[in-house]
């Protein structure tokens, strides 16, 4: 009879200590990505504490509470493969380097590859660089294989595998998820192909898009005409703050760092350091449209972090499935894909708003095609326990199936998400559909200009404030067909 209260007290102190370690770690990782100096030894010590603390949970409490079990197992798996991840980061910057091509005076490397391709109109140069990097991916292969296997083995000690862990956190079955991805990718393939042909005419002078004209090339290239000049007098940060405020959401507590610092990550990011009191966004100013997209996206994460109630449990504050976390970032980013919003909130002419939304729609189609291949490959990699070579072969087949272009199979190893995360790619697709469904629900309740409605903001707050405790079924059916139809129009 006395055992129960004692356990609860123990669990509470375990959570308190877990949060202390989490916050300490988060701050240092934030500093690392923000290009600020930080204490590496201190970070290593936090990592060690996190590993020991997770092990202590698994030893004393076993498999319940489930969320803490899942968090702890993942933390152990990550800690055990952490060195391989760091090694791969090192190899990326030291070995994936061109001896021929330069960007702003420096040799093009893994980190500047996308910038180079977006700026270069020389297809032959892009092809040569791509082929060269594909060949050099062999330096990464053994590290990726060892890390994935190491994670699998670490999890096996706790009778769970990476796929099962991921699916349980995302609260979805393998069959449901693979069929969701497949429906989305297959339905949109012909529509994507038509759009790709259209934009190839504009961008590639009528030549067919090839494997080296990838998502990142088109995604950026398609907006070239807006790179230097975006016809709006507004700035992204005040605009997103104002938009949220009108919805009754207070994002002013989110800290923003927009300084241009050496060593700062090129892509924007949001870091919930301590939920809900210390949430930070970091970005580097690039072209104006990218600034808007990045800022609206990251503020979607930011408002999530600062809206979670202080009295929510540790696990609801810090274990939020990616398929949930990305809903709100995509939701706010998607405002920029809405013609009415572009006209009324940013002051674009009808013509500009139509053109911009059309181009965003193409990017969304490309995203679905590319991520259908990415997601299916990763899901089947874990399910069928494939080797890296088998995964490469499958990847080639899938790019052909969903995009109509056969990629060299090793391409995924050079991606920034695919080899870096154990799974994750399907979460983007899940969240995109849910963000679309959420916007539709708010539109049906409050009209086309739901972003002007405080009541819509109140509905959003209900979903944001519970963190990982969210009930996604309250607004989402995860209906691939509905989403596909909207993009097919």
Which of positions 185-204 make contact with Zn ion (CB under 5 A)?
Answer: none
Name the segment binding Zn ion (CB under 5 A); options: 42-50, 152-160, 322-330, 413-421.
322-330
Name the segment binding Zn ion (CB under 5 A); options: 131-139, 184-192, 321-329, 373-381.
321-329
CB of 297 to Zn ion, least distance (A): 6
Q: Does 293 contact Zn ion by CB under 5 A?
A: no
CB of 427 to Zn ion, least distance (A): 10
CB of 329 to Zn ion, least distance (A): 4
Toward Zn ion, which CB reaches closer, 137 or 329?
329
Name the segment binding Zn ion (CB under 5 A); options: 100-108, 219-227, 325-333, 456-464.
325-333
CB of 304 to Zn ion, least distance (A): 10
Name the segment binding Zn ion (CB under 5 A); options: 97-105, 287-295, 323-331, 440-448.
323-331
CB of 323 to Zn ion, least distance (A): 11
CB of 477 to Zn ion, least distance (A): 22
Toward Zn ion, which CB reaches closer, 91 or 417?
417
Toward Zn ion, which CB reaches closer, 268 or 391?
268
Q: Are 488 and 191 in contact (CB under 8 A)?
A: yes
CB of 368 to Zn ion, least distance (A): 17
CB of 354 to Zn ion, least distance (A): 27
Toward Zn ion, which CB reaches closer, 329 or 372?
329
The pair of structure tokens assigned to 158 is 């706790």
Name the segment binding Zn ion (CB under 5 A); options: 28-36, 327-335, 377-385, 479-487.
327-335
Toward Zn ion, which CB reaches closer, 329 or 413?
329
Number of residues that bind Zn ion (CB under 5 A): 1
Which of positions 433-452 make contact with Zn ion (CB under 5 A)?
Answer: none
Toward Zn ion, which CB reaches closer, 298 or 315?
298
Nearest residue to Zn ion, by Cβ distance, number only: 329
Toward Zn ion, which CB reaches closer, 329 or 352?
329
Among 112, 293, 329, 425, binds Zn ion (CB under 5 A): 329
CB of 211 to Zn ion, least distance (A): 27
Name the segment binding Zn ion (CB under 5 A); options: 36-44, 276-284, 328-336, 343-351.
328-336
CB atoms inside a 10 Å sphere around CB 246? 15
CB of 421 to Zn ion, least distance (A): 13
Toward Zn ion, which CB reaches closer, 108 or 470?
470
Residue found under tokens 């272009």: 405
3-state secondary structure the chain: CCHHHHHHHHHHHHHHHHHHHHHHHHHHHHHHHCCCCCCHHHHHHHHHHHHHHHHHHHHHHCCCCHHHHHHHHHHHHHHHHHHHHHHHHHHHHHHCEEEEEEECCEEEECCCHHHHHHHCCCHHHHHHHHHHHHHHHHHCHHHHHHHHHHHHHHHHCCCCCHHHHHHHHHCCCHHHHHHHHHHHHHHHHHHHHHHHHHHHHHHCCCCCCCCCCCHHHHHHHCCHHHCCCCCCCCCHHHHHHHHHHHCCCCCCCCEEECCCCCCCCCCCEEEEEECCCEEEEECCCCCHHHHHHHHHHHHHHHHHHHHCCCCCCHHHHHCCCHHHHHHHHHHHHHHHHCHHHHHHCCCCCHHHHHHHHHHHHHHHHHHHHHHHHHHHHHHHHHHCCCCHHHHHHHHHHHHHHHHCCCCCHHHHHHCCCCCCCCCCHHHHHHHHHHHHHHHHHHHHHHCCCHHHCHHHHHHHHHHHCCHHHCCHHHCCCCCHHHHHHHHHC
Toward Zn ion, which CB reaches closer, 307 or 329?
329
Q: For residue 397, give every residue at least 6 positions away whose Cβ sits within 8 Å of its Cβ, in sequence order, or none.
A: none
Toward Zn ion, which CB reaches closer, 69 or 271?
271
Residues that bind Zn ion (CB under 5 A): 329
């Amino acid at each position: 009879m006395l055992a129960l209260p004692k356990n609860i007290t123990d669990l509470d102190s375990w959570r308190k200590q877990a949060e202390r370690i989490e916050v300490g770690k988060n701050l240092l990782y934030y500093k690392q990505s923000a290009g600020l100096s930080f204490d590496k030894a201190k970070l290593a010590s936090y990592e060690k504490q996190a590993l020991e603390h997770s092990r202590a949970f698994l030893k004393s409490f076993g498999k319940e509470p489930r969320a803490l079990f899942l968090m702890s197992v993942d933390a152990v798996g990550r800690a055990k493969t952490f060195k391989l991840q760091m090694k791969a980061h090192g190899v990326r910057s030291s070995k994936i380097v061109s001896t021929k091509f330069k960007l702003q005076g420096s040799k093009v490397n893994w980190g500047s590859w996308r910038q180079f391709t977006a700026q270069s109109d020389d297809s032959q140069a892009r092809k040569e660089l791509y082929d060269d990097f594909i060949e050099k991916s062999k330096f990464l292969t053994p590290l990726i294989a060892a890390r994935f296997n190491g994670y699998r083995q670490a999890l096996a000690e706790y009778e769970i595998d990476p796929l099962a862990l991921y699916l349980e956190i995302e609260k979805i079955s393998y069959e449901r998820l693979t069929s969701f991805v497949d429906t989305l990718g297959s339905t949109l393939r012909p529509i994507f192909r038509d759009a790709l042909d259209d934009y190839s005419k504009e961008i590639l002078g009528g030549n067919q898009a090839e494997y080296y004209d990838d998502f990142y090339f088109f995604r950026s290239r398609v907006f070239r005409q807006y790179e230097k000049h975006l016809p709006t007098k507004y700035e992204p940060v005040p605009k997103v703050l104002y938009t949220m405020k009108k919805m009754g959401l207070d994002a002013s507590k989110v800290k923003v760092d927009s300084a241009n610092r050496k060593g700062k990550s090129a892509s924007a990011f949001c870091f919930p350091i301590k939920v809900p009191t210390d949430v930070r966004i970091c970005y580097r100013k690039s072209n104006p449209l990218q600034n808007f997209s990045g800022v609206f996206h990251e503020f979607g994460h930011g408002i999530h972090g600062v809206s979670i109630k202080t009295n929510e449990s540790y696990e609801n504050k810090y274990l939020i499935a990616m398929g949930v976390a990305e809903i709100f970032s995509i939701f706010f980013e998607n405002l920029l894909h809405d013609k009415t919003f572009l006209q009324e909130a940013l002051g674009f002419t009808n013509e500009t708003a139509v053109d911009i939304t059309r181009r965003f729609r193409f990017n969304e189609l490309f995203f679905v095609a590319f991520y259908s291949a990415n997601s299916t490959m990763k899901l089947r990699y874990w399910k069928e326990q494939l080797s890296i070579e088998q995964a490469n072969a499958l990847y080639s087949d899938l790019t052909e199936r969903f995009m109509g272009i056969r990629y060299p199979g090793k391409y995924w190893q050079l991606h920034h998400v695919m080899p870096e995360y154990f799974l994750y790619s399907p979460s983007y697709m899940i969240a995109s559909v849910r963000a679309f469904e959420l916007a539709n629900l708010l539109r049906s309740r409050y009209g086309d200009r739901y972003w002007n409605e405080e009541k819509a903001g109140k509905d959003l707050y209900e979903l944001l404030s519970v963190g990982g405790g969210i009930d996604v079924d309250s607004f989402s059916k995860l209906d691939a067909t509905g989403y596909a139809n909207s993009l097919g129009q």
